[in-house]
Structure 1
Amino acid sequence: MYVTPPMQSTSQAAAKPAWLIIGPGFAALIGLFLLTAIYQFGGRSAIQLDLGLSRQSLLLSGVVAYLVALLLALPLGLLLGGRYPTAVSVPAICLMLLGVLAVAFTPNGFLLSVGRVLGGLGAGAVIGGTVALIRGLRAGRGVAAGVAAGLGVLSLVIAPFLGELVSDVLNFRVVYLAAAVAVFFALVAASVTGIVTLVSAKPPVPQMPYGMPYPPQNPSPYSPEGPPSV
């Protein structure tokens, strides 16, 4: 009698290669860096002086707009980033790139707000997608989560100091141009790992450890075994 072979569990079938974290993970760190890089500890920041903004305007258009957009897109990354990592991360990183370039070349506070909203939406999606991919790892989940959390906190902490230093020495636009280059490399990494995963994926071969896929049929009257018994 034919017995149906055991099927793979849903968690095993849904597991993704660990290298898919590289692109969105790098973009997530840049997104966290950009969240606090705009902050200035004392006095008026370079971006305030260049664009003629008040501290309240910079807070609303530069920090609040980015944070709200990030929180809005975060659930999307958490829900879909683990199942469709490349389809989520690549458009999200493209949004980040557009947002960073908009801030780098902004002539006024309005375009600053637009750029920060775009960047926040992309950052929220890649952060959520990175968390979803780490949760779906078969092995090393705790180590990956610890490393990602540590690097994320480090990005948030050093961003104001580094952003202020570069802005005072050169220009605030240099900070976002450098961030745009980093986002571009994250986009390349996410695209390449997605293509490699797609090419290397093989259709599952059904295993039949318990015998033939179909039960044997009765022999025909003309077979060597003779006619069936009556």
Structure 2
Amino acid sequence: MHVTPPTPPVTRPVVGPARWQVFGPGLAALIGLFMLTVIYQFDGMSALQRDLGLSDLGALVVGLVSFVVAAALTVPVGLLLGTRAPTAVTIPAICFVFFGVLLVAFTNAGGLLAVGRALQGLGTGAATGATVALILKTRERRGVLAGVFAALAALALLLAPVIGQVISEAVGFRVIQLAAIPFLLVALVVSAVLGIVSLSAAKRQAPPIPNGMPYPPPGPTEFTGGA
């Protein structure tokens, strides 16, 4: 009896993420890190602390601790899912930061400020985790990407208090929060476009089925030998 050999299993080559996939979550993470320190200033009481009547301890707990704790909860999520579904992680992260910015911009009490800062932290942590995961999985120029992102992150953290102080002293702390919205919208559009491009590239890279068909065509069974 003639037996058709089984079709070998289809294997796909392991391909690391492309460098351009880092741009979406990376931009969202940098905006979030900027928002982390923008409510503070290096000398004296910040405009936000003064306008809301917060003590030094209250400003620390409400403005910083809530952000950092929330970010620590979502960094592992970004690390686990960042390479599998970067767009699915980045877009909700941007939305969290967006709504957090709105709450902080229109807050009149420390409780609402804490909620807004926690939302900002949730989004920043997820985007940062996804960015780190993508950089670690990138096969080409990994060190360059890591160095550039680390330098930009440090720059955002250091420049935010200076920029925030200048703008807040001139027009109030709410404006500096609302000024982040256009940048968040740009990050949202970039992430959506990169997600579509990544999906299209994955479909094009799918390998064809060996021999054109997964199974042999039906036909008569060939017997050898006789009664």
Contact 1:5 1:207 in 2 (8 A): no
TM-score normalised over the length of structure 1 = 0.85
Deviation at 1:198, TM superposition (A): 2.1
Matched, 1:74 2:75: yes
Deviation of 1:201 after TM superposition, in Å, equals 3.0
Q: CA deviation at 1:206?
A: 3.5
Query: What is the aligned residue count?
Result: 220
Counterpart-to-counterpart distance in 2, 1:180 and 1:220: 71
The one-letter amino acid of 2:152's match is: L
Aligned alpha-carbon RMSD (Å):
2.6
8 Å CA contact 2:70, 2:118 repeated in 1: yes
Q: How high is the TM-score relative to the length of structure 2? A: 0.86
Distance across 1 between alignment mates of 2:39 and 2:189: 26
1:7 matched to 2:44? The reply is no
| Pair 5,114 (structure 1): closer, same or farther in 2 beyond 3 Å | closer
Match of 2:188 in 1: 187
Structure 1 residue runs without a partner (length 5+): 222-227
Q: Which amino acid aligns with 2:141?
A: G
1:6 shift after superposition: 7.7
The aligned counterpart of 1:83 is: 84
Query: Which residue is equivalent to 2:168?
Result: 167
Matches within 5 A, 1:46-195: 46-195=47-196
Q: One-letter code of the match for 2:8? A: T
Distance 1:19 1:131 in 2: 13
1:199 counterpart residue number: 200
TM-superposed deviation, 1:200: 3.9
Q: Secondary structure at the match of 2:43?
A: coil
Unaligned stretches of 5+ residues in structure 2: none
What displacement does 1:220 show?
5.0
How far residue 205 of structure 1 moved from its aligned partner, in angstroms, is 2.5
Q: Distance in 2 between matches of 1:192 and 1:128?
A: 20
Q: Which amino acid aligns with 2:207?
A: V
| 8 Å contact from structure 1 (residues 38, 63) kept in 2 | no
Amino acid at match of 1:7: T
Percent identity between matched residues is: 48
* 1:40 partnered with 2:37: no
Query: What is the one-letter code of the residue matched to 2:59?
Result: L
